[in-house]
Structure 1
Amino acid sequence: MSLEGLSDEALLALVARGEEEALRWLFRRYAGAFLGLARRMGLDANAQEDVVQEAFVRVWKNARQFDPRRASARAWLLAVGHHTAVDFVRRLEARPKPLEPQGEEAEEAFDLPGDGLDEEGHLDRIRLQGALRHLDPEEQEVIQILYYQGHSHQEAARLLGIPLGTLKTRVRRALLRLKEVLREP
């Protein structure tokens, strides 16, 4: 029996019964989305792959918890992917890393050759860190909390003690400024 045409809900039901082929089909459908979530949280390629693997282990183990009356399969799967990526980022936070470049990296931060992308087409971390210095302290803080620490918008607003709308305005302003700075030669 081919599982290709089955809905995500049907595939999750089969996964809950231990059908590995159903998990393979879900992987084909959602691995890219999980990679994208991890990439947006600033994880490198290896960490992104770890997030995808960990997320699908969670899907395999917790498929029985899916309740189609509470959410669509897509929403449930994306929530698993998101929570896995956030947990991964939080575990990394236990091992602090400097946000500012050190030594030679600091000297190169503003005069990198090319368009600031590495061989995989990702923004160069050093160039991004340099661009972050162009933001107001409040904007730096929201970017740090959302994208480096992996908090949700609601969590970030609560941590900063500001209304959610204010947080979203700061994020929007910060991202627009980063876009401008990174486009500059």
Structure 2
Amino acid sequence: MSLEGFSDEALLALVARGEEEALRWLFRRYAEAFLALARRMGLDANAQEDVVQEAFVRVWKNARQFDPRRASARAWLLAVGHHTAVDHIRRLEARPKALEPQFEEADGEFDLPCDGLNEEGHLDRVRIQRALKRLGPEERRVIVLLYYQGHSHQEAAELLGIPLGTLKTWARRALLRLREELHEP
């Protein structure tokens, strides 16, 4: 049976039941995006491959935790890839490369990883870029530091010279605004 036409949500449900073929299909769809993310975070080719492998091990082990009421399968999978890359960087005690220009230049295009994206993925990328541009400067800075540059909340607070609680409030507000901008329930 071919799983080619199955949605990401359906594939994740099958992975949660132990279907290896479903994991292979998710790998075909997301391995390039995970590689691109690891590359954008400054990892070398070997580390990029390690991130992809580790991310799919996490998908295999944690697919039951996916809740379609909280996020789309795509968002959940990309979050797994992101967290895996950040964890890898921390283990190496390295710093990721900045994905964005300095804050003063942040009004330009947001350069999201797009390797391996289909037309739908490209449209999602464009929607996210537009939504990011509509955020206030503090909110945008927090998103860049946390999700594009891979800093922890504590590190981002120190870089911005604000209390940790304030940073967390800004981050929560920014994510809520992004959700509103993207019209997600």
Q: TM-score, normalised by structure 2?
A: 0.56
Contact 2:35–2:49, Cα closer than 8 Å, also in 1: yes
Amino acid at match of 2:90: R
Larger Rg: 1
Residue 155 of structure 1: how far off its partner (Å): 5.2
List gaps (5 residues or longer) in structure 1.
Answer: 98-144, 165-185
The yes-or-no answer on 1:20 pairing with 2:17 is no
The yes-or-no answer on 1:47 pairing with 2:82 is no
Amino acid at match of 1:58: R
1:159 paired residue number? 158
The yes-or-no answer on 1:6 pairing with 2:6 is yes
Segments of 4+ moved more than 6 angstroms? none
Contact 1:90–1:150, Cα closer than 8 Å, also in 2: no
Matches within 5 A, 1:60-139: 60-93=60-93
2:30 paired residue number? 30
The root-mean-square deviation of aligned C-alpha atoms, in Å, is: 2.7
Residue 2 of structure 1: how far off its partner (Å): 1.2
Summarize deviations over 1:143-182 as a string: whole Å, max 9, x none.
xx879x8316x65431224467xxxxxxxxxxxxxxxxxx
CA distance in 2, matches of 1:57, 1:5: 23
Contact 2:35–2:52, Cα closer than 8 Å, also in 1: yes
Distance 1:146 1:14, change over 3 A: closer
Contact 2:146–2:156, Cα closer than 8 Å, also in 1: no
- Partner SS for 1:9: helix
Summarize deviations over 1:117-163 as a string: whole Å, max 9, x none.
xxxxxxxxxxxxxxxxxxxxxxxxxxxx879x8316x6543122446
CA distance in 2, matches of 1:7, 1:43: 30
Summarize deviations over 1:34-91 as a string: whole Å, max 9, x none.
0011001110000000000000000000000000000000000000000000000000
Amino acid at match of 1:68: P
2:127 paired residue number? none
Q: TM-score, normalised by structure 1?
A: 0.56
Using the aligned pairs only, state the percent identity.
86
CA distance in 2, matches of 1:21, 1:156: 40
CA distance in 1, matches of 2:83, 2:68: 19
The count of corresponding residues between Structure 1 and Structure 2 is: 115
